[in-house]
Amino acid sequence: MVSCSEKGRTERVLTVCPYCGTGCGLYLVVEDGRITGVEPDSLHPVNEGELCIKGYFGYQYIEDDRRLRSPLIKKDGKFTPVSWDEALNFAAARLAKIKQESGPDAFALFASARATNEENYVAQKFARAVMGTNNVDHCARL
């Protein structure tokens, strides 16, 4: 199933499964800049060289055509691709206005159990240090 092809450049990148909390070790097989398969990490103490259906086959979404490729702003009820600058300026101006009018606690952040530690740290720092609220929570609550 996962065989490294002879032609082209093949790399194996060691990482951790993105699905449940077990945290199995696995290698992403990368050929010519595309992920073509997954191999279990036999040295990982938790999964010891085995994976489940999601670990082996749950990576195809990465290359799905429906991935978001550009910031979008809803204009007249229709999503319109915009530049990062425009999207961030739009969000920043609205957030600042709401904070000024209704105070920091008029903002709430849903953080992510799917993103990295670093990203979650930065997210809560944004809520607490930039917006000035403790309204930050995520689905660990659920």
Binding residues for other proteins restricted to 74-93, rule: CB under 8 A: 74, 79, 81, 84, 87-92
User: Binding other proteins by CB under 8 A: which of 5, 8, 43, 100?
Assistant: 43
CA dihedral 126, 127, 133, 137 (to 10 degrees): -150
Contact flag: residue 130 with other proteins (CB under 8 A)? yes
Contact flag: residue 5 with other proteins (CB under 8 A)? no
Task: Kindly list the distances between the CA atom of residue 27 and the CA atoms of 16, 39, 42, 47, 138, in Å, as whole numbers in the listed order.
Answer: 8, 5, 10, 13, 29
Q: Please state, as a whole number, how many other Cβ atoms lie within 10 Å of the Cβ of residue 115.
A: 13
Contact flag: residue 25 with other proteins (CB under 8 A)? yes
Contact flag: residue 23 with other proteins (CB under 8 A)? yes
CB of 47 to other proteins, least distance (A): 5
Contact flag: residue 105 with other proteins (CB under 8 A)? yes
- The answer to whether 72 touches 81, Cβ cutoff 8 Å, is yes
- The answer to whether 68 touches 89, Cβ cutoff 8 Å, is no
* # binding residues, other proteins (CB under 8 A): 106
- The answer to whether 9 touches 22, Cβ cutoff 8 Å, is no
User: Binding other proteins by CB under 8 A: which of 6, 7, 68, 76?
Assistant: 68
Contact flag: residue 8 with other proteins (CB under 8 A)? no
Contact flag: residue 72 with other proteins (CB under 8 A)? yes
